[in-house]
Amino acid sequence: MATRRDFIKISALGIGSATLGAGAFNLLKGANLRAVPATTGAFARYPTYCEVCFWKCAGWSYVDEKGKLLKLEGHPDDPHCNGRLCPRGTGGVGMYYDEDRLTTPLIRVEENGEQSFRKASWDEALGLVADKMREIAGQYGPESIALFNHGSSGHYFTHLLKAFGSGNIVAPSYAQCRGPREAGWIATFGTSVGSPEPTDIRDTRCLVLIGSHIGENMHNNQVQEMSDAIDNGADIITVDPRYSTAASKSRYWLPIKPATDLALLLAWMHVIVYEELYDKDYVERYTYGFDQLKQHLRRMTPEWAYGITTIKPQDIRETARLMASAAPATIVHPGRHVTWYGDDTQRSRAIAILNALLGSWGRRGGFYFPESVKVPEFPSPEYPAPKWSWQDTLDGRYPLANLGVTNTVIEASIPGNDRDARVKGWLVTGTNLPLSIPEKAKLEEAMQALSLLVVTDTMPMEITGYADVVLPECTYLERYDELRTSPHREPYLALRMPAVQPTGDSKPAWWITKKLGEKLGLGDYFPFEEYTEVLDWQLKQVGSSLEEMQKIGVKQFPRKTPLYLKDGEPFAFRTGTGKIELYATSLEKYGFDPLPNYTAHPEPPENYYRLNYGRAPMHTFSRTANNPNLTDIMEENKLWVNPKVAKIWGLKNDQEVWLKNQDGIVTTFPIKVRITERIRWDSVYMVHGFGHSRKELTRSFGKGASDSEMITRPMTDPIMGGTGMRGNFVTFLFEKPEKAVES
Amino acid sequence: MRYAMAIDTKKCVGCSDCVVACQIENNVPTGYCRDWVTETVYGSYPQLELELRSERCNHCDNAPCVRCCPTGASHIVEGGVVLVEASKCIGCGACIESCPYDARFSHPDGYVDKCTFCIHRVRKGLEPACVAACPTKCMYFGDLDDPSSDISKMLKNRKYKVLAPEAGTKPQVYYLI
Amino acid sequence: MNEEIIISGRDIPHIDPHLNIWHWPIPSYLFLGGLAAGILFFASLYTILGKEKELPTAVKWASFVAPFALMLGLFFLFIDLKHQWYFWRLYLTLRIESPMSWGAWVLLAITPLSMIWAAGYLSELIPSWDWKLGILKRFEQWIQGHRKLLAWAMILLSVILGIYTGILLSAFNARPLWNTALLGPLFLVSGLSTGAATILWMSRNEAERKLFTRIDILLISIELFFIVHLFMGFLAGPAVQLESAALFLGGEFTLPFWGLVVLMGLALPALLELLELKGWKIPAALPAMLILLGGLAFRIIMVEAGEMTRYLY
Ligand SMILES: Nc1nc2c(c(=O)[nH]1)N[C@H]1C(S)=C(S)[C@@H](COP(=O)(O)OP(=O)(O)OC[C@H]3O[C@@H](n4cnc5c(=O)[nH]c(N)nc54)[C@H](O)[C@@H]3O)O[C@H]1N2
Ligand SMILES: Nc1nc2c(c(=O)[nH]1)N[C@H]1C(S)=C(S)[C@@H](COP(=O)(O)OP(=O)(O)OC[C@H]3O[C@@H](n4cnc5c(=O)[nH]c(N)nc54)[C@H](O)[C@@H]3O)O[C@H]1N2
Ligand code: SF4
Ligand code: SF4
Ligand code: SF4
Ligand code: SF4
Ligand code: SF4
Ligand SMILES: [Mo]
């Protein structure tokens, strides 16, 4: 039987003593804990920051005297985690111990028509990649190589690709995640929300969650602060068609009809504007376009919204008044994964406007102004100017996209179309595209057409199955990485350093890109032998040093700017008008609604249900589905079905069903049913990230189903290109149809 | 001294960090656990209530598992903490049968295992691993005999319940409601 | 609708989805213990009453079954232990509150006693038997001279053993099905009845068979009475006991229990025995075997079903 014994055995020993700084003691198998004497022994702890999601909590990794990794604990001084990691962070040891990890470079070979991977040396693998990259660049220009990235490794690959001469750099964290929110916020406040969100939940009196399911979405200090807010008696209002965990902690749960949030937001504004509950001084001083807004909202009464959202007018009024009474210590949370229905920038705009009316932006208990430590880049030559970039793949669409849109770069890789195939090679790192990008068929078409696909990953995830060359990165626990400079209430730096040596032949991304760069003749861009030189140089520029950071892990710096707006202080917003644009001039310029409007979205056809999805607190997307510690807690996702629906279909708990969507696509694997009142009768719900189809993932292969597979019809946001993913409808199949879809 | 735990169901989000942290701290074999999280949904859409509870051995004041143990392997130490001494345990399963909470299990090595209230940490002045990890800080551990302890204060100021009080075991894990 | 689920942790082998820690060896052990207790009870009872001559099977022949039943039972107990090689820990302490503990001690005392008892009859029942060693012969003579004394010890221990096999389960409050004062007496009576059936089966003596047929019918009647009361108690009890009863009243144990235990294992043999008393020719093995199988099935079902019942919270 598999046990965690090997690496945990000593943790039971090390940890207590480690924290006490007293040393390890021996715990014999089966011995009475009482009888265990504390003896001294050597243990060590190393600073790190977590890479199990993108919140980047700083922590300590504990290692025993034999150099074995024991466990991870949060760093008490770090505001991202306050000494407590989330379950995924605690289970991060499993990222290192996963025996399915990639440990050697792989090159795709073909023998007798059979394709497979063969192990290769780094020298050979990188040599092949460099040759191919040069070949493509020679024919089509360096711009025709694109980078898909997410997470720490993206930093180095971005540097490499820019040095190579391409600016075609995209990440799923934009068009599949928070893009619409950033576009909406920029159009309103002139600045994006950023990560971590500068929501002052700790001190709020009213927290409004629109979909945002904090508590399942485990972004650490937000969860912690929501708990503090509950202790402080703050009111939580949750708008969610599903009874989320957050909804269960709320004073008001508004079980909205899916896809109708804009109507509710407009009705809230209506109440706040027409009952004159808004922050008059704030609105007058800082905003632009109030009169147009007021005029615009005239008919958008709670009664109007009731017909659309099914939320009772009285509840709309009460919650609006509650928000206003707590303002400015009210947060209407901007959410994070907001690519829902294609009008997401407009919904985010509505949320931004609502916050502006409440005067919560820049106010205590609302949104603070985050600050980060500005660490200079390590000196290296100027990047060559690319002739074209991802902006050109937009082909005139999505004018307000402020970061690369994955899908347009994917499209630009498909020959035919009416567009010219301009992208010929992809570098992919830290993103599992087949499970993260909707419209898998299109993605596959693009990948098939590529001349080169290089994937850097830690695990044999789906994406590696499409690669020509697979480069194994070591996990975050085995490497140095760039400093964490994320903004917060106070500026902080956090160091990640290795606690253990890389497993097998895996290497850190900084090393991979440096070696690849050298092979490409770009050695000048990597003027260091070890990444520690870069870190030490950078740290010295800001008055610290690598040596200091290795000891303390996290360092706080003094703020240079105020945390909140001062009363009546003049403030220049980085918008066209220098004000908070309730009326968005930037949108007007491009012919979009300058004030948000509600538009109706398609409803599920008969016998179909809207596919809703979200997070489970113990997993991160697809990346943890094989983690031994976390699969032990939750090994598959289930399909939430309302009891009424279950009755119609005769479904039983734990019965396996396949899903078929509106386009006739069927899930590769079945999913077990969970009958629960927590979901509406017009929707089904599942946790994203399961249904892995690579056998190399021994624990997660075939466990649960993939929501991504069902999302074949994204609703694209015309403003910034976000792929709305909640407009797909599924029905149940009790048997897998014969002509199975390719796995 | 009477050690006890109080868990605030108003704050628990069911994230299961308490379970992951316990398994790692206590070297619980894969597929086993000393604590677990339950979810109870009351009502029907949209009139719903949800209770999330992190559960474990209740370190009962009136512990049937200790009484029924034929060898004395199940025993009580300071603070009323109920422990199993592996080298005395014959694996007869009587204690497992006797626990109304199914808090015990048969370790693959044969002896019976369960939550120890992390007494090895508590003796060093640390909190139990689950309590120390919990992101919502909804778990409180301490001495009920000490009126100034967090847990005493919580139980004084809040409504609470225990699980299956009718079983007569006098559980010492309290749920703040 | 209330929905109760465990969202993480659990799914522990033998604990989830429901407890399944004791498998067939424990009920078999209880069955064999009850059987031995029954046999030894009757052997010592009729010795004390001075009926050795009239009831040779009860006192002499059947008592040879007991040591084997006890040893086999102990072996079953042993194989169900998960930490077997710490078995000896049982005998370093006596814990009065733990039936498991004093049961183990009673077994330790009664098993050799039952062997001694049977040994004392070896040369009487098998004329060709020769102890060979003089010391053994002298021991035999000592046994034969102290049968009454031994019988008093044995009747005491067999009653304790019988009660033990009954209350082992009912001592577990945590399992609502077992949590009833009737279970102990029921198991005790059932044990006596299996003992009586064994004697009946082995007996070639007309008067003895009549007596044990009567005893058996009485015991079965008491059992049936207890069973009815058991369920009446459950049905008047709290939700958890209603749920336990439901396992037998429409639930998955309905057929095995009412069919196998009550009909085949109690009612039918009782009927056959009544007919036999009325002068019908019925092979003694038939009702006896039914009773024995019924007794075993009863214990297996009670253990299995009991493990499935639990407190709700
Ligand atoms: N259907 C559907 N699609 C979605 C979402 C959804 O909820 N449903 N969510 C969207 C959102 S919000 C986001 S942010 C994106 C996230 O999209 P991704 O970032 O693609 O998410 P993951 O599935 O976690 O993929 C991460 C990949 O990085 C690898 N990895 C982990 N650690 C390392 C490392 O240290 N180095 C390297 N090189 N690789 C590493 C993992 O093995 C995995 O292959 O997905 C989006 N797509
Ligand atoms: N444990 C864990 N935590 C994570 C992550 C993870 O993978 N695992 N990923 C992180 C990342 S990158 C992101 S982007 C965030 C995402 O986390 P969030 O931003 O909180 O995600 P959303 O998709 O906005 O929220 C999902 C919720 O929206 C509800 N919903 C569905 N349709 C509608 C609708 O029409 N209206 C309304 N009002 N609600 C609706 C769903 O029922 C569900 O409760 O989570 C982060 N935190
Ligand atoms: S929120 Fe959790 S997974 Fe994300 S960085 Fe922090 S500890 Fe790691
Ligand atoms: S760690 Fe805390 S919040 Fe999470 S499930 Fe356990 S008790 Fe609840
Ligand atoms: S919860 Fe169970 S194992 Fe723990 S003390 Fe109570 S009866 Fe014993
Ligand atoms: S299994 Fe072990 S701890 Fe439990 S009752 Fe038997 S000997 Fe005691
Ligand atoms: S107190 Fe310790 S042993 Fe008990 S559940 Fe918590 S971490 Fe596990
Ligand atoms: Mo995201």
Q: Is the Cβ–Cβ distance between A5 and B29 less than 8 Å?
A: yes
Nearest to C120 by CA among C33, C70, C47: C47
Nearest CA to ligand 2 atom 33: A258
Distance of CA A599 from the midpoint of ligand 2 (Å): 22
Q: Which ligand 2 atom is the nearest neighbour of the CA of B15?
A: 1
Q: Are residues A209 and A294 in the same domain?
A: yes
A633: nearest CB among C1, C3, C9: C9
Q: What is the mean pLDDT of residues C117-122?
A: 90
The verdict on residue A742 lying in a domain is no
Q: Do C8 and A677 touch (CB under 8 A)?
A: no
Encoded tokens for A631: 């699969």
pLDDT of residue C128: 86
Q: How far is CA B159 from CA A575, B7, B162, C133, in A?
A: 51, 11, 11, 77
Q: Do C3 and A618 touch (CB under 8 A)?
A: no
Task: State if residue A436 touches ligand 1 by the CB under 6 angstroms criterion.
Answer: yes
* Burial of residue C141, with CB atoms counted within 10 A of its CB: 0-12 exposed, 13-18 middle, 19 or more buried: exposed
**How many Å apart are CA A484 and CA A486, to the nearest integer?**
6
Q: Are strands A469-472 and A106-111 parallel, antiparallel or unpaired?
A: antiparallel
Q: How far is CA A280 from CA A286, A299, A328, A563, A584, in A?
A: 10, 21, 11, 22, 19
pLDDT of residue B19: 97
3-state secondary structure of A280: helix
Q: What is the mean pLDDT of residues A555-565?
A: 96
Domain with B43, as residue range(s), is 3-176
> Can you tell me which residue has the tokens 């499970």?
A435
The verdict on residue A109 lying in a domain is yes
Encoded tokens for C142: 């000592």
Mean pLDDT by runs of 10 across the 177 residues of chain B is 97 98 94 96 96 98 96 96 97 96 96 97 95 97 96 96 94 97
Q: How far is the alpha carbon of A227 from chain B, nearest alpha carbon, in Å?
A: 5
Distance of CA A176 from the midpoint of ligand 8 (Å): 7
Q: Higher pLDDT residue, C31 or C135?
A: C31
Structurally, chain A folds into a number of domains equal to 3
In the 3-class helix/strand/coil scheme, how is A9-64 assigned residue by residue? Answer: CCHHHHHHHHHHCCCCCCCCCCCCHHHCCCCCCCCEEEEEECCCCCCCCEEEEEEC
Nearest CA to ligand 6 atom 4: B95
Q: Do A675 and C3 touch (CB under 8 A)?
A: yes
On the question of pLDDT at A523 being above 70, the answer is yes
3-state secondary structure of A348: helix
Q: Which residues contact B177 (CB under 8 A, 6 or more apart)?
A: B9, B10, B51, B158, B159, B160, B161
**How many Å apart are CA A373 and CA A561, to the nearest integer?**
12
For residue B154, list chain A residues with Cβ-Cβ distance below 8 A: none
Q: Are strands A715-716 and A723-724 parallel, antiparallel or unpaired?
A: antiparallel
Level-2 CATH architecture, domain C21-308: Up-down Bundle (1.20)
Beta strands in A465-548 (DSSP E): 469-472, 492-494
Helical H segments across chain B, by residue range? 17-25, 64-67, 94-98, 119-122, 129-133, 150-157
Q: Is the Cβ–Cβ distance between C218 and C280 less than 8 Å?
A: no
Q: Give the number of the ligand closest to the Cα of residue B118.
A: 7
Q: Is the Cβ–Cβ distance between A7 and B25 less than 8 Å?
A: no
Residue B145 amino acid letter: D
B16: nearest CB among A15, A31, A618: A618
The verdict on residue A307 lying in a domain is yes
| Chains linked to B by 3 or more Cβ pairs within 8 Å | A, C
User: pLDDT digit string (tens) for A111-123?
Assistant: 888 889 999 999 9
Encoded tokens for A320: 């609006």
Nearest-Cα residue of chain B relative to residue A13: B25
pLDDT tier at A9, thresholds 50, 70, 90: very low
Q: What percentage of chain C has pLDDT greater than the value 90?
A: 76
Q: Are residues A283 and A258 in the same domain?
A: yes
User: Hey, which residues 28-87 in chain B have their CB within 8 Å of chain A?
Assistant: 28-31, 33, 41, 43-46, 48-50, 52, 77, 83, 85-87
Q: Do A676 and C3 touch (CB under 8 A)?
A: yes
Q: Do B93 and C310 touch (CB under 8 A)?
A: no
pLDDT of residue A686: 98
Q: Is the Cβ–Cβ distance between C81 and C25 less than 8 Å?
A: no
Task: Report the 10 Å Cβ neighbour count for C49.
Answer: 12
pLDDT of residue C297: 96
Domain at B41, CATH number: 3.30.70.20
Q: Is the Cβ–Cβ distance between B50 and B56 less than 8 Å?
A: no
Task: State if residue B115 touches ligand 7 by the CB under 6 angstroms criterion.
Answer: yes
Q: Across-strand partners of B84?
A: B74
- What's the length of chain C? 313
C12: nearest CB among B33, B67, B89: B33
Q: Are residues A572 and A494 in the same domain?
A: no
Q: Which of B115, B139, B172 to mutate to test the pocket of ligand 7 (most atoms within 8 A of CB)?
A: B115
Nearest to B127 by CA among B136, B118, B116: B118
User: pLDDT digit string (tens) for A280-327?
Assistant: 999 999 999 999 999 999 999 999 999 999 999 999 999 999 999 999
Q: Are residues A479 and A572 in the same domain?
A: no
Q: What is the mean pLDDT of residues C4-29?
A: 93
Q: Which of A56, A78, A95 to mutate to test the pocket of ligand 3 (most atoms within 8 A of CB)?
A: A56
Cis peptide before A670 (omega within 30 of 0): no
Q: How far is the alpha carbon of A675 from chain C, nearest alpha carbon, in Å?
A: 9
The verdict on residue A131 lying in a domain is no
Which of A1-10, A227-236, B33-42 shows the lowest mean pLDDT across its residues?
A1-10
A15: nearest CB among B16, B25, B52: B25
For residue A3, list chain B residues with Cβ-Cβ distance below 8 A: 29-30, 108
Nearest-Cα residue of chain A relative to residue B110: A30
**Which residues sit with their C-beta closer than 6 Å to ligand 5?**
B 57-60, 63-65, 82, 99, 101, 103-104, 114, 169
User: pLDDT digit string (tens) for A562-577?
Assistant: 999 998 899 999 999 9
On the question of pLDDT at C132 being above 90, the answer is no
Residue A254 amino acid letter: L
User: Hey, which residues 9-28 in chain C have their CB within 8 Å of chain A?
Assistant: 9
pLDDT of residue C279: 85
In the 3-class helix/strand/coil scheme, how is A631-697 assigned residue by residue? Answer: HCCCCCCEEEECHHHHHHHCCCCCCEEEEEECCCCECCCCEEEEECCCCCCCEEEEECCCCECCCCC
Task: State if residue A196 touches ligand 2 by the CB under 6 angstroms criterion.
Answer: no
Q: What percentage of chain A has pLDDT greater than the value 90?
A: 90
Domain with A713, as residue range(s), is 609-733
Q: Which ligand 6 atom is the nearest neighbour of the CA of B90?
A: 7
Structurally, chain B folds into a number of domains equal to 1
On the question of pLDDT at A346 being above 70, the answer is yes
* Burial of residue A324, with CB atoms counted within 10 A of its CB: 0-12 exposed, 13-18 middle, 19 or more buried: buried
| Chains linked to C by 3 or more Cβ pairs within 8 Å | A, B
Task: Quote the crossing angle between the two packed helices C25-48 and C183-202, to the nearest 10°.
Answer: 70
pLDDT of residue C164: 92
Model's pTM, two decimal places?
Answer: 0.93
Which phi and psi angles does A238 have, rounded to 5°? -115, 130
The average confidence (pLDDT) of chain A is 92
Helical H segments across C49-91, by residue range? 56, 65-80
**How many Å apart are CA A193 and CA A362, to the nearest integer?**
12
pLDDT tier at C283, thresholds 50, 70, 90: confident
Residue A579 is given by DSSP the state S
Nearest-Cα residue of chain B relative to residue A34: B120
Domain at A696, CATH number: 2.40.40.20
Q: How many CB pairs under 8 A join B and C?
A: 160
Nearest to A74 by CA among A82, A66, A64, A63: A82
Give the CA-trace dihedral at C75, C81, C82, C87, to 10 degrees.
-90
Q: What is the mean pLDDT of residues A684-705?
A: 96
The average confidence (pLDDT) of chain C is 92
Q: What is the mean pLDDT of residues C51-58?
A: 90
Beta strands in A211-258 (DSSP E): 235-239, 252-254
Q: How far is the alpha carbon of B147 from chain A, nearest alpha carbon, in Å?
A: 21
Which phi and psi angles does B89 have, rounded to 5°? -85, 130
Q: Which ligand 2 atom is the nearest neighbour of the CA of A209?
A: 38
A617: nearest CB among B10, B16, B48: B16
Distance of CA B19 from the midpoint of ligand 4 (Å): 8
pLDDT of residue C313: 81
Residue C179 at interface with chain B, using a CB cutoff of 8 Å? no
**How many Å apart are CA A131 and CA B94, to the nearest integer?**
69
The verdict on residue A231 lying in a domain is yes
Task: Report the 10 Å Cβ neighbour count for C57.
Answer: 22
Q: Are residues A279 and A207 in the same domain?
A: yes
Q: Do A230 and B124 touch (CB under 8 A)?
A: no
On the question of pLDDT at A161 being above 80, the answer is yes
Nearest to A377 by CA among A482, A480, A479: A482
Nearest-Cα residue of chain A relative to residue B32: A632
pLDDT of residue A715: 97
Residue C12 at interface with chain B, using a CB cutoff of 8 Å? yes
- The dihedral built from the CA positions of residue C79, C82, C83 and C89, taken in this order, carries a sign that is negative
Residue C8 at interface with chain A, using a CB cutoff of 8 Å? yes
Encoded tokens for A642: 């309302």
On the question of pLDDT at A30 being above 80, the answer is no
Encoded tokens for A600: 């109706």
Residue C305 at interface with chain B, using a CB cutoff of 8 Å? no
Q: Are residues A573 and A640 in the same domain?
A: no
Beta strands in B73-122 (DSSP E): 74-77, 81-84, 105-106, 112-113
Q: Give the number of the ligand closest to the Cα of residue B54.
A: 4
The H helix count followed by the E strand count for chain A is 27, 26
CA angle A685, A687, A693 (to 5 degrees): 115
**How many Å apart are CA A37 and CA A33, to the nearest integer?**
9
On the question of pLDDT at A37 being above 50, the answer is no
pLDDT of residue A399: 96
Encoded tokens for A69: 């990794």
